[in-house]
């Protein structure tokens, strides 16, 4: 793809308009979340940035849950929240890395010298690693030149690219990450145990309330006792490509792009070879199912991962790789602009649903596959990743799978109240969450790190949809996918200038509708509009108030007079440019 060009035309909007309710609500929500983040931080972090809890290792409560107390903070700043939000995140993140490097296990063997090593999980799966590092992965949106953060990203990517002598995670010959359990101390090359997942023994009754509802430590271990098959590559490992993606954007070094493309292509090839369905185990020799007795559906969190709930004895289906894997193919799209990565996951959806059956005149669709074939049939089609496929492709043929989504209905003109309704709901949720903070009477020695996750007041999903025309980042552990992003040239920072509301009202393959409004009635505002989260989209032209402005670049500047606004009809070419985290005026 060609490098992006920065022609940066200036569009002046001097049309007074009454401030829309949604625009006022956006900034009310940003301001309230900012104040709530400050109060949350003061309540649950100490002066070092350490979380006030009992630090533990494990999949029930562990470092990833501790870091999730910062989730959304970097994204909130990237939307336009004050710099204090970013500074609190940095203080909390530095404290987190130190706290969990100092925290050591006694019984779990691989974390006895520190749950983090080289500022990264010693060894764990990428559903949890991705959740814990999701806030860090979005730091380059606002802080692209942070030298320490860049060094960390390169170091972490090196764990999977053969540049770290202790972390032999990747086999370049077979293009496999050698275990689902991997990290800064390398891969786990044995079956994992309940202890590996549950962490050291601890007092439960009367003190802690584990998130999975366990009443005793024995039940915590039992929860994970069937979590054994981790050797071999696993599609959750596609999450590691986020490290290479960010390292590439921050350094421009082609080795990161080459590795990302090669590893993602390996998974495209495996999916094609497995009748269009992504396998959940790849042997050390690169064969499908090679580390699970030839079972392509094997592995922890795989297609056949149905386990017993210790408290009830009931069976639970946990193919949790589905929460993440399609975003791995999305990294391939962001890096290259090649729609074949989207085609791969669309094919998975279609090929799973092709195994439907009819019972009693009703069509039923499978969601799991085991030794006896497909199972867990429901009337709802398999639909994981359907929203992302439609968003990435903008193919109208993909729309029927997601046409009931509230945001999609709004973009299609069928849900006009969605912006106001969604923002009011988020404001209510901020109030309720900070109310829980204020009523929390626990002491630090009775808190698990995830006890406060539900109180974290940074809720940016709907702001991301409405302001950026973007997919909510949440805890995915992947880059931001958005149609536009904003920068404040006056403050020389990322994010929308204060009091400017933005609403993406329509999305198509080569165009979008964006309304910008300056709600400040006394002062002008200037905003730079960028194509995509990382400048990956190229603008062609902008129509507003009967005037057409040619763009031919990845950004343009809008000057909004006091109380002025306009609807912009923007034509663009998606995925035309090399992604970068550099600010528009630096390119």
What does the pLDDT look like over 388-401, one tens digit per residue? 999 999 999 999 99
Round to whole Å and give the CA distance between 582 and 146: 11
With beta carbons less than 8 A apart as the criterion, state whether 249 and 579 touch.
Answer: yes
Round to whole Å and give the CA distance between 433 and 2: 46
Please calculate the CA angle 76-458-556 and round it to the nearest 5 degrees: 20
With beta carbons less than 8 A apart as the criterion, state whether 460 and 80 touch.
Answer: no
Res 211 pLDDT > 90: no
Of residues 213 and 538, more confidence is placed in 538
Number of H helices, E strands in the chain: 16, 22
Domains and CATH numbers, the chain: 483-586 (2.60.40.1180)
With beta carbons less than 8 A apart as the criterion, state whether 130 and 324 touch.
Answer: yes
Res 582 pLDDT > 50: yes
Round to whole Å and give the CA distance between 515 and 533: 18
**Which among 121, 2, 141 is positioned nearest to 75, based on CA atoms?**
141
Tokens of 53: 């809890």
3-state secondary structure of 65: helix
User: 539: left (phi > 0), else alpha (psi -120 to 50), else beta?
Assistant: beta
The 10s digit of each residue's pLDDT in 408-460 is 999 999 999 999 999 999 999 999 999 999 999 999 999 999 999 999 999 99
The 10s digit of each residue's pLDDT in 170-195 is 999 999 999 999 999 999 999 999 99
Identify the band that residue 526 occupies on the pLDDT scale cut at 50, 70 and 90.
Answer: very high
Round to whole Å and give the CA distance between 180 and 300: 8
pLDDT (0 to 100) of residue 7 = 57
Burial class for 378, CB neighbours closer than 10 Å (0-12, 13-18, 19+): exposed
Pairing state of beta strands 555-560 and 10-13? Answer: parallel
Res 217 pLDDT > 90: yes
For 388-524, strand residue ranges (E) read: 470-471, 481-482, 484-488, 493-494, 500-507, 511-518
With beta carbons less than 8 A apart as the criterion, state whether 333 and 532 touch.
Answer: no
Of the chain, the percentage scoring pLDDT greater than 70 comes to: 99
pLDDT (0 to 100) of residue 5 = 42
Round to whole Å and give the CA distance between 33 and 216: 36
What is the chain's mean pLDDT, rounded?
A: 97
**Which among 19, 18, 29, 6 is positioned nearest to 464, based on CA atoms?**
29
3-state helix/strand/coil string of 380-427: CCCCCCHHHHHHHHCCHHHHHHCCCCHHHHHHCCCCCCHHHHHHHHHH
Round to whole Å and give the CA distance between 459 and 481: 17
Round to whole Å and give the CA distance between 134 and 154: 16
Rounded to an integer, the average pLDDT of 116-145 is 98
With beta carbons less than 8 A apart as the criterion, state whether 472 and 465 touch.
Answer: yes
3-state secondary structure of 540: strand
Rounded to an integer, the average pLDDT of 526-537 is 98
Res 4 pLDDT > 60: no
pLDDT (0 to 100) of residue 213 = 86
Rounded to an integer, the average pLDDT of 74-103 is 98
3-state secondary structure of 329: helix
pLDDT (0 to 100) of residue 175 = 98
The 10s digit of each residue's pLDDT in 332-376 is 999 999 999 999 999 999 999 999 999 999 999 999 999 999 999
The 10s digit of each residue's pLDDT in 118-132 is 999 999 999 999 999
Burial class for 383, CB neighbours closer than 10 Å (0-12, 13-18, 19+): middle
Rounded to an integer, the average pLDDT of 202-207 is 93
Point out which residues pair with 485 in neighbouring strands: 530
What would the DSSP string read from start to end of 194-241? HHHHH-S----TTT---TT--SSHHHHHHHTTT----BSB-GGGGGGH
């Amino acid at each position: 793809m060609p490098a992006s060009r920065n022609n940066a035309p200036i569009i002046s909007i001097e049309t007074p308009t009454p401030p829309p309710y949604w625009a006022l609500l956006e900034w009310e929500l940003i301001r309230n979340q900012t104040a709530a983040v400050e109060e949350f931080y003061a309540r649950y972090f100490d002066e070092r940035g350490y979380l006030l809890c009992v630090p533990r290792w494990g999949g029930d409560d562990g470092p990833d849950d501790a870091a999730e107390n910062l989730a959304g903070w970097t994204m909130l700043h990237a939307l336009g929240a004050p710099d204090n939000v970013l500074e609190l995140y940095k203080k909390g993140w530095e404290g987190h890395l130190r706290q969990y490097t100092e925290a050591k296990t006694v019984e779990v063997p691989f974390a006895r010298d520190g749950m983090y090593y080289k500022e990264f999980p010693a060894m764990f799966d990428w559903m949890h690693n991705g959740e814990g590092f999701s806030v860090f992965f979005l730091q380059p949106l606002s802080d692209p030149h942070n030298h320490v953060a860049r060094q960390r990203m390169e170091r972490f990517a090196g764990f999977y690219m053969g540049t770290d002598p202790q972390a032999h995670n990747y086999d370049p010959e077979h293009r496999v990450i050698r275990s689902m359990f991997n990290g800064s101390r390398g891969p786990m090359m044995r079956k994992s145990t309940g202890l590996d997942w549950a962490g050291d023994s601890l007092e439960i009754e009367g003190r802690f309330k584990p998130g999975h509802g366990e009443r005793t430590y024995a039940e915590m271990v039992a929860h994970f006792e069937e979590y054994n098959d981790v050797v071999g590559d696993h599609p959750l490992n596609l999450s590691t490509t986020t490290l290479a993606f960010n390292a590439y954007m921050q350094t421009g070094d082609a080795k990161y792009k080459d590795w990302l493309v090669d590893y993602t292509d390996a998974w495209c090839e495996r999916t094609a070879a497995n009748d269009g369905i992504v396998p959940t185990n790849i042997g050390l020799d690169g064969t499908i199912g090679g580390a699970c007795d030839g079972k392509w559906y094997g592995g922890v969190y795989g297609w056949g991962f149905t386990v017993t709930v210790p408290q009830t004895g009931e069976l639970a289906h946990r193919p949790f790789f589905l929460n993440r894997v399609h975003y791995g193919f999305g990294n391939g799209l962001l890096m290259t602009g090649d729609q074949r990565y989207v085609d791969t996951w669309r094919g998975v959806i279609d090929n799973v649903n092709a195994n439907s059956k009819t019972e009693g005149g009703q069509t039923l669709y499978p969601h799991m596959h085991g030794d006896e074939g497909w199972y867990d049939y429901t009337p709802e089609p398999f639909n994981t990743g359907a929203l992302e496929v439609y968003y990435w492709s903008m193919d109208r043929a993909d729309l029927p799978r997601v046409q009931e989504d509230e945001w999609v209905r709004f973009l299609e003109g069928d849900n006009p109240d969605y912006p106001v309704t969604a923002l009011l709901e988020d404001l209510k949720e901020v109030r309720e969450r900070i109310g829980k903070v204020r009523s929390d009477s626990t002491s630090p020695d009775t808190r698990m790190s995830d006890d406060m996750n539900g109180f974290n007041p940074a809720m940016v999903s709907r702001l991301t949809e409405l302001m950026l025309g973007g997919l909510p980042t949440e805890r995915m552990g992947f880059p931001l996918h958005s149609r536009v992003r904003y920068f404040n040239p006056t403050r020389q920072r990322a994010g929308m200038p204060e009091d400017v509301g933005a609403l993406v009202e329509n999305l198509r393959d080569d165009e979008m509708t964006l309304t910008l409004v300056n709600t400040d009635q006394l002062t002008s505002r200037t905003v730079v509009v960028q194509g995509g989260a990382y400048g990956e989209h190229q603008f062609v032209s902008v129509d507003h108030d009967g005037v057409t402005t040619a763009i031919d670049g990845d950004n343009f500047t809008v000057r909004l007079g006091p109380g002025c606004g306009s609807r912009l009809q923007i034509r663009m070419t998606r995925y035309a440019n090399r992604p970068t985290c550099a600010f528009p005026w630096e390119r």
